[in-house]
Structure 1
Amino acid sequence: MTVPALLRFSRFRSLRPQTGFLWLLAAVAGITALVVQHAWRKAGSPRTVSGHARIIDGDSLVVAGVEVRLWGIDAPELSQRCQRDGREVRCGREAHRSLIALAAGQPLTCERRDIDRYGRTVAICRVDVVDLGRAQVLAGHAVAFGAYYQDEAAARDARRGLWAGEFVRPRDWRAQHRAIVPTEH
């Protein structure tokens, strides 16, 4: 073996432990970042947020920079359509407009109940004493999901909103259209 070949071999060999150490260091840093991020999501989201909301869809909004999903309900996705009186209706857009009208540009308060698997705050949000989730279910613009079953029954009996026609439950619709729905519940 020539001298330059020996130097290359020895340089290559001396880099191996450093490269392995760098990979180990990168892996430890990555795992630490994930643990810290998870802990921050659990503890970092405030119990209560207040302010004016930017409405995302029929059951999601942003308040004071915090993305919030309304607790206890599941509204149609923005692109979801339903049938009413033999015609197609944009029920996802109707649910979105309904939540905009309920918030009406007024300050609201959201009390966190949970953090979902996507890191979003799941909360009960109110404008004054009006529970926005309950109001969406009562108007027929969302189905009950873990709460508000009596309110859903009242909307169904009165044939309000979704209950005035035929629809696919939002959860089932998302499962059928997973590729085009940007966020899941």
Structure 2
Amino acid sequence: MHAIAFALTLLLLSAPALAAGPPPAATPAAPPPLRCAEDGEGGACVWGRAEGFDAGALQVRGLHIALAGITAPGRKDLCGSKSARDEFDCARPARKRMGELLSKGVACEIVDVASGQLWGRCKVADGDLGRLLVAGGLARAAKDGPYAEAQKQAIAARRGLWAADMVLPRDWETARRKAEDED
């Protein structure tokens, strides 16, 4: 009797389903890719992975789209640090953050075409790309644009371009003074 029980135990333990242990934990489903919302007015929208980007623009599906509502520093704009007394490319922090934000895809609604340039409002997994850049102090809100409040918060918190230690190019310094005067 013991021999039968022993053989049955060996048979059960050698079965692949039982020997493999418990099934692996289910992996969380990946979030759906960003897509454009349906637009009843026939607006244009493009989505997918960013093929390239700079501080205030990106390329998706071969289209170069400038972010509407923001002004980002250019590669030739040099910022400085009061404590380190050195200069650096003002757009570098914005490009770094855009790379992080664009890693999960982007959906851009084209809001204007002017002089051959597409202007869009883009969404990433974390929200509105322009708002995120302005709120992080990495870009300036365009005059009469939708991100004025986000810029006020960045200035008040002294984030990014508005940090106390930051020395901005002359035109950016003028923008900082004007924004502070409006408060």
TM-score higher than 0.5 here? yes
Q: Deviations over 1:9-51 (max 9, x none)?
A: xxxxxxxxxxxxxxxxxxxxxxxxxxxxxxxxxxxxx710011
Within the alignment, does 1:61 sit opposite 2:61 as a pair?
no
The structural deviation recorded for 1:115 is: 0.9
- RMSD over equivalenced CA pairs, Å: 2.0
* Identity percentage of aligned residues: 34
SS of equivalent to 1:140:
coil
Tell me the residue number matched to 1:96: 95
Q: CA 1:138–1:107 in structure 2 vs 1: closer, same or farther (change >3 Å)?
A: same
Letter in 2 for 1:98: R
Q: CA 1:83–1:91 in structure 2 vs 1: closer, same or farther (change >3 Å)?
A: same
The structural deviation recorded for 1:111 is: 0.4
Tell me the residue number matched to 2:167: 166
- After alignment, is 130-139 or 52-61 more displaced? 52-61
Q: TM-score with structure 2 length normalisation?
A: 0.62
For 1:114 and 1:80, the matched residues in 2 are separated by 26
Tell me the residue number matched to 1:131: 128
For 1:127 and 1:51, the matched residues in 2 are separated by 10
Letter in 2 for 1:113: V
The structural deviation recorded for 1:166 is: 2.5
Q: How does 1:67-82 map to 2 (within 5 A)?
A: 67-82=64-79
SS of equivalent to 2:46:
strand
Gaps of 5+ in 1: 1-45, 173-185
For 2:133 and 2:67, the matched residues in 1 are separated by 10
The structural deviation recorded for 1:170 is: 6.6
Tell me the residue number matched to 2:154: 155
For 1:169 and 1:69, the matched residues in 2 are separated by 23
Question: 2:112 is matched with which residue: 96, 111, 114?
Answer: 114
Q: How does 1:11-26 map to 2 (within 5 A)?
A: none
Q: Is the 8 A contact 2:51 2:61 kept in 1?
A: no
SS of equivalent to 2:167:
coil
SS of equivalent to 2:134:
helix
For 1:167 and 1:149, the matched residues in 2 are separated by 19
The structural deviation recorded for 1:129 is: 5.5
Q: CA 1:72–1:170 in structure 2 vs 1: closer, same or farther (change >3 Å)?
A: farther
The structural deviation recorded for 1:158 is: 0.9
Within the alignment, does 1:84 sit opposite 2:81 as a pair?
yes
Gaps of 5+ in 2: 1-42, 174-183
For 1:53 and 1:169, the matched residues in 2 are separated by 32
The structural deviation recorded for 1:87 is: 3.0
Letter in 2 for 1:76: P
- After alignment, is 147-156 or 162-171 more displaced? 162-171
How many residues align? The count is: 125
The structural deviation recorded for 1:61 is: 0.5
